[in-house]
Chains A and B, each alone.
Chain A
Amino acid sequence: MSFALEIKNLSLSYDLTEGKSDNLTQIKSDELTEIKSDADKQWIFKDLNFQIESGEFILVAGPSGCGKSSLMNAINGVIPNLKKAHVRGDIYIQGKRITDGTVRERTKLVGSVFQNPREQIIFDEVSDEIVFPMENLGKSPRKMREKLTALLKMTGLVANSKTATLSGGEKQKLITACTLAMEQKILLLDEPLANMDANSAIELLTLLRKLAKQEDYTVVLIEHRQELVLPYVDRVFSCVKSDLENVDMKIEIWENIKEYQTYLCVIPQQKKWTAEIATNDKDAETIFSVKNMTYHIDNCLLFNNFSWQVKRGEEWVILGENGCGKTTLLKLLIGFEKPSEGSISSLFNKRKKRKKIGYVLQNPDYQLFMPRVKDELYLNSKSREFVEQLIDLFGFDKMLERHPLSLSEGQKRKLGFACIIANEPEILFLDEPTVGLDTDSLEQLLCGLRLLKQKSDKDLTVLSVSHDKRAIPYLGNKFLTLSKFT
């Protein structure tokens, strides 16, 4: 019997031949001149073996940066065809060996859905985007029309909607629909729920489950929000630290979801951090006061006659579905957006006072620009001692001389957070600070927050936006839930 997907002795390393990597654009395993021996290489994973049957729904879980996306990219051919890496071993799809296939060849068999749908959409209208992959595969107009109608019905999207006005969740659905349009029976999805609210995530998971059970699709889903996904999946491939010295991760396969859930609950949590319930001083000065604010964006009403007050020392978590205006509210408070009606008064309106605000953006790429990690941390920092504490906490000591942009995504996120709190702000805005972070990194981040609170003598005001159930209880003790206008 042939499996839908079979991996035999698959190994992957980004450790290319020394000193020659700059000249290599596409390195395939058979073309590589090995200078380093296998034992010297650092492998992301080595000699992986697993089989997945048709109709199975698999969750691939594991800490950020452990190699989940690399595994997906090795299957769909992005590695080594588009991204440099050394790949060894065999990949079979429906019994056919595809290890040496190009991305286009593999695309006919495997559909891939990536993160950041906004950056993958190129057309103005939903229908054009969905038919694009079918046009690429040379499907007939009649076939395209039929498939388009079916996909629109399945996803609830509207054919002539403008892609620019779709919410994050709708954009993800659109990109998923594009993949489904190509009718591959194997789907690989890389954190499709990362920026979705619970309702949109459940809708997408239900759709994927239906495809697996009713239409025999094989679904492989990489996701951090396991609590949401586990009820839908058949097996879990848990990526854990390898026992071998020169290998980063190995896969543990869990056939029984309930056992896996129990395992998740008993993982020892070294909680250095605790949820502190701040006693809010009723007489504390008001920092932000929103009065009868109305705010529209592109004819879409986000706030209508909204009033709210934030006092010094308060810790707020802003909750709500995607696209309901959480980040916009932070930007309104800071003065980057202006309300359509009503007013926002702030103690930090003036430029000099604005320096007392720290804002951790969701994507650290916007905030990192210095040539070394060290320079990034010390830029505008107030005390050397505090920066040293942060270096120690986040484990930056071995990477101080490195370029911030050469760090992994998780490390960059932590650095982005650390360099903002190193400025010891009086008010801290956190926009989804924990997206894609594993438990250890989350712990470090919350510990850093606690250190800052201690330094500020509990005078620190924190306003966070988060979808992460693991972090919400520790980010604040006051909650503002926003909802969309229907």
Chain B
Amino acid sequence: MKKIEFKAFTIKDIVFLAVITAVTLLASGPIAPLVMTVTKLGAQAFAMALPFALFTSIGLRKVEKSGSLTIIGIFSGLVLLLMAPVMFFNQLIASLLSESLALILFKSYENKKAILFSAGLFSFFTIPTTAVVNILAKGRTITEQVGNPITFILFVLGAAALGLLGAFIGNKISNELAKAGKL
């Protein structure tokens, strides 16, 4: 059975992941402040899913090493730490969850499905993290956070769907750039 391989990251890998994180944050920049204080669970993940998935999938195509998404999560979390400290945990845990599951299922990012899964569901996995953080830090019960169940279900499904769509577009762009010898 194929094992999950962990390769060392070069400076080139780290710089690329940092730069792609900068672009991801910039692309989601206009949306982030609007949803940062929304109390409805899932709303943030829904709003950020597309840009996050699109750019992180390109990042993972370029650096196909186990741990790449977690590094993106750390970098984006550290920057968000300067704006809303809770977001650090949110990003870090979601990236860890998403990456771990993708690697358990597909073993390596050489399998494109792993990239689609990992990048596509990154935002989706911020939902449980946000719920836990809200319970611990703000004392809000799950029922309070969910509010209207239909809206919640729409947010959750929307976050997954938009994330997968973003990752699919990111993969398409990566394929073209790889063909041009640029990736």
A: residues with CB less than 8 A from B are 82, 371, 403-406
Residues A403 and B179 in contact, CB atoms below 8 Å apart: yes
B124-183 with Cβ < 8 A to chain A: 176-177, 179-182
Measured in the bound complex, the distance between the Cα atoms of B78 and A355 in whole Å is 44
Asked whether B3 is an interface residue with its Cβ less than 8 Å from the other chain, the reply is no
Residues A406 and B181 in contact, CB atoms below 8 Å apart: yes
Asked whether B12 is an interface residue with its Cβ less than 8 Å from the other chain, the reply is yes
Our pick among A82, A371, A403, A404 for the contact of B12 (Cβ within 8 Å) is: A82
Measured in the bound complex, the distance between the Cα atoms of B176 and A404 in whole Å is 11
Measured in the bound complex, the distance between the Cα atoms of B176 and A371 in whole Å is 8
Give every chain A residue within 8 A of B182 (Cβ-Cβ). 405-406
Chain A residue with the shortest CB-CB distance to B180: A403
Measured in the bound complex, the distance between the Cα atoms of B177 and A403 in whole Å is 9
Measured in the bound complex, the distance between the Cα atoms of B181 and A405 in whole Å is 8
Residues B12 and A405 in contact, CB atoms below 8 Å apart: no
14 sampled A-B residue pairs with Cβ under 8 A: A82-B12, A371-B176, A403-B176, A403-B179, A403-B180, A403-B181, A404-B180, A405-B177, A405-B180, A405-B181, A405-B182, A406-B180, A406-B181, A406-B182
Give every chain A residue within 8 A of B176 (Cβ-Cβ). 371, 403
| Number of A-B residue pairs at CB separation under 8 A | 14
Give every chain A residue within 8 A of B12 (Cβ-Cβ). 82
Assign chain B's interface to a size class: under 10
Chain A residue with the shortest CB-CB distance to B13: A25
Give every chain B residue within 8 A of A403 (Cβ-Cβ). 176, 179-181
Looking at chain B's contact residues, is the secondary structure mostly helix, strand, loop, or mixed?
Answer: helix
Measured in the bound complex, the distance between the Cα atoms of B15 and A82 in whole Å is 13
Measured in the bound complex, the distance between the Cα atoms of B182 and A404 in whole Å is 11
Give every chain B residue within 8 A of A371 (Cβ-Cβ). 176
Give every chain B residue within 8 A of A404 (Cβ-Cβ). 180
Give every chain B residue within 8 A of A405 (Cβ-Cβ). 177, 180-182
Measured in the bound complex, the distance between the Cα atoms of B135 and A88 in whole Å is 62
Measured in the bound complex, the distance between the Cα atoms of B11 and A82 in whole Å is 10
Measured in the bound complex, the distance between the Cα atoms of B12 and A462 in whole Å is 42
Measured in the bound complex, the distance between the Cα atoms of B181 and A404 in whole Å is 11
Chain A residue with the shortest CB-CB distance to B7: A25
State how many angstroms separate the Cβ of A368 from the closest Cβ of chain B: 10
Measured in the bound complex, the distance between the Cα atoms of B180 and A405 in whole Å is 6
State how many angstroms separate the Cβ of A1 from the closest Cβ of chain B: 36
Q: Which 8 A-B pairs have the closest CB atoms?
A: A403-B180, A405-B180, A406-B180, A406-B181, A405-B182, A82-B12, A403-B179, A371-B176
Measured in the bound complex, the distance between the Cα atoms of B43 and A292 in whole Å is 50
Measured in the bound complex, the distance between the Cα atoms of B174 and A405 in whole Å is 13
State how many angstroms separate the Cβ of B19 from the closest Cβ of chain A: 10
Measured in the bound complex, the distance between the Cα atoms of B63 and A28 in whole Å is 20
Measured in the bound complex, the distance between the Cα atoms of B180 and A82 in whole Å is 19
State how many angstroms separate the Cβ of A161 from the closest Cβ of chain B: 23
State how many angstroms separate the Cβ of B155 from the closest Cβ of chain A: 34
Give every chain A residue within 8 A of B181 (Cβ-Cβ). 403, 405-406
State how many angstroms separate the Cβ of B149 from the closest Cβ of chain A: 44
Measured in the bound complex, the distance between the Cα atoms of B7 and A311 in whole Å is 62
Measured in the bound complex, the distance between the Cα atoms of B53 and A26 in whole Å is 29
State how many angstroms separate the Cβ of B26 from the closest Cβ of chain A: 16
State how many angstroms separate the Cβ of A123 from the closest Cβ of chain B: 14
Measured in the bound complex, the distance between the Cα atoms of B179 and A405 in whole Å is 10
- Starting from the known contacts A371-B176, A405-B182, A406-B182, 11 additional A-B residue pairs (CB-CB under 8 Å) come to A82-B12, A403-B176, A403-B179, A403-B180, A403-B181, A404-B180, A405-B177, A405-B180, A405-B181, A406-B180, A406-B181
Encode B35-54 as 1/0 by CB contact (under 8 A) with A. Answer: 00000000000000000000
Measured in the bound complex, the distance between the Cα atoms of B173 and A403 in whole Å is 13
State how many angstroms separate the Cβ of A366 from the closest Cβ of chain B: 15
Measured in the bound complex, the distance between the Cα atoms of B79 and A426 in whole Å is 46
Chain B residue with the shortest CB-CB distance to A83: B12
Chain B residue with the shortest CB-CB distance to A406: B180
Among A82, A371, A403, A404: residue with most chain B CB under 10 A: A403
State how many angstroms separate the Cβ of B109 from the closest Cβ of chain A: 14
Measured in the bound complex, the distance between the Cα atoms of B183 and A406 in whole Å is 11
State how many angstroms separate the Cβ of B65 from the closest Cβ of chain A: 10
Measured in the bound complex, the distance between the Cα atoms of B12 and A45 in whole Å is 26
B50-99 with Cβ < 8 A to chain A: none
Measured in the bound complex, the distance between the Cα atoms of B179 and A371 in whole Å is 10
State how many angstroms separate the Cβ of B112 from the closest Cβ of chain A: 14
Chain B residue with the shortest CB-CB distance to A403: B180
Give every chain B residue within 8 A of A406 (Cβ-Cβ). 180-182
Measured in the bound complex, the distance between the Cα atoms of B164 and A339 in whole Å is 44
State how many angstroms separate the Cβ of A402 from the closest Cβ of chain B: 8
Chain A residue with the shortest CB-CB distance to B179: A403
Give every chain A residue within 8 A of B179 (Cβ-Cβ). 403
Give every chain B residue within 8 A of A82 (Cβ-Cβ). 12
Chain A residue with the shortest CB-CB distance to B176: A371
State how many angstroms separate the Cβ of B172 from the closest Cβ of chain A: 12
State how many angstroms separate the Cβ of A35 from the closest Cβ of chain B: 19
Chain A residue with the shortest CB-CB distance to B18: A122
State how many angstroms separate the Cβ of A254 from the closest Cβ of chain B: 35
